[in-house]
Structure 1
Amino acid sequence: MNIQPGQLPLKSLKLTNSLSSTTTTSHREDSESSEENASGAEKTNKALVPVRATAGRLRRGGALPQPRQQPIVVPNQVAAMPIVMTGFVTLVPHTVLDAIALTNCLMIVQCTEPLEIFVGIETPNRYVVHDMFLRPMLYCNERSNIFSRECCGSGRNFTMEIRDLFGAELMKCYRDNPCFSCTDYLGTQFQGQQIGLMKRECCSENFQLLGAGCNQPLLIRSPCCPSCGGTQIFPVLTYTGIKVGEIVRLYPGFLQEAFTDADTYLVHFPADLPPILKLLLISSVFLIDFTFFEND
Structure 2
Amino acid sequence: MSDLPTTPEKPADEKENQIKSPDLRPGAPPQYSSSFVPGPPGPAIPPPAGYPGGLPMGYYGPHQPSTFPLYMQTGSICPIQYQPGKYPAPQLSAPVIWMPVPTPIPHCPPGLECLAQLDNIHVLQHFEPLEMVTGFETNNRYDIKNNMGQMVYFVTEDTDDYTRNAYRTLRPFVLRVTDCMGQEVMTMQRPFRCTCCCFCCPSTRQEMEVQCPPGVTIGFVAEHWNLCRAVYSLQNEKKEDMMGVLGPCSTYGCGSDSVFEILSLDGVSIIGSITRKWNGVLSAMSDADHFEIHFPLDLDVTMKAMIFGACFLIDFMYFESSPPQRSNIHHD
Question: Taking structure 1 as the reference length, what is the TM-score of the superposition?
Answer: 0.70
Question: Is 2:214 the counterpart of 1:197?
Answer: no
Structure 1 residues 128, 175: closer, same or farther in 2, change over 3 A? same
Whole-Å separation in 2 of the counterparts to 1:48 and 1:98: 28
Structure 1 residues 65, 222: closer, same or farther in 2, change over 3 A? farther
Aligned partner of 1:134 in structure 2 is 149
Structure 1 residues 102, 156: closer, same or farther in 2, change over 3 A? same
Question: Which of 196, 205, 212 does residue 183 from structure 1 map onto?
Answer: 205
Question: Taking structure 2 as the reference length, what is the TM-score of the superposition?
Answer: 0.63
Q: Give secondary structure in 1 for the equivalent of 2:194.
A: helix
Kindly report which structure 2 residues correspond to 1:98-177, keeping only aligned pairs within 5 A, or say none: 98-177=113-192
Structure 1 residues 40, 202: closer, same or farther in 2, change over 3 A? same
Question: Is 2:109 the counterpart of 1:92?
Answer: yes
Unaligned residue ranges in structure 2 (runs of 5+): 1-39, 49-54, 69-91, 99-106, 196-202, 323-332
Aligned partner of 1:28 in structure 2 is none
Question: Which of 232, 235, 249 does residue 224 from structure 1 map onto?
Answer: 249
Q: CA offset at residue 161 of structure 1? A: 0.9
Structure possessing the higher radius of gyration over alpha carbons: 2
Larger helix share, 1 or 2: 1
Kindly report which structure 2 residues correspond to 1:10-29, keeping only aligned pairs within 5 A, or say none: none
Post-superposition CA distance 1:198-223 (Å, at most 9, x none)? 01134462011112368452111010
Q: Give secondary structure in 2 for the equivalent of 1:160.
A: strand
Q: Which has the higher contact order (CA 8 A, sep 6+)?
A: 1
Post-superposition CA distance 1:84-103 (Å, at most 9, x none)? xxxxxx54334xx2222221
Amino acid at match of 1:208: S
Whole-Å separation in 1 of the counterparts to 2:276 and 2:250: 13
Q: Give secondary structure in 2 for the equivalent of 1:284.
A: helix
Whole-Å separation in 1 of the counterparts to 2:120 and 2:139: 26
Q: Give secondary structure in 2 for the equivalent of 1:148.
A: helix
Question: Which of 267, 273, 277 does residue 250 from structure 1 map onto?
Answer: 277
Amino acid at match of 2:271: V
Q: How many residues align?
A: 237
CA-based RMSD of the aligned residues comes to: 3.5
Identity %: 24
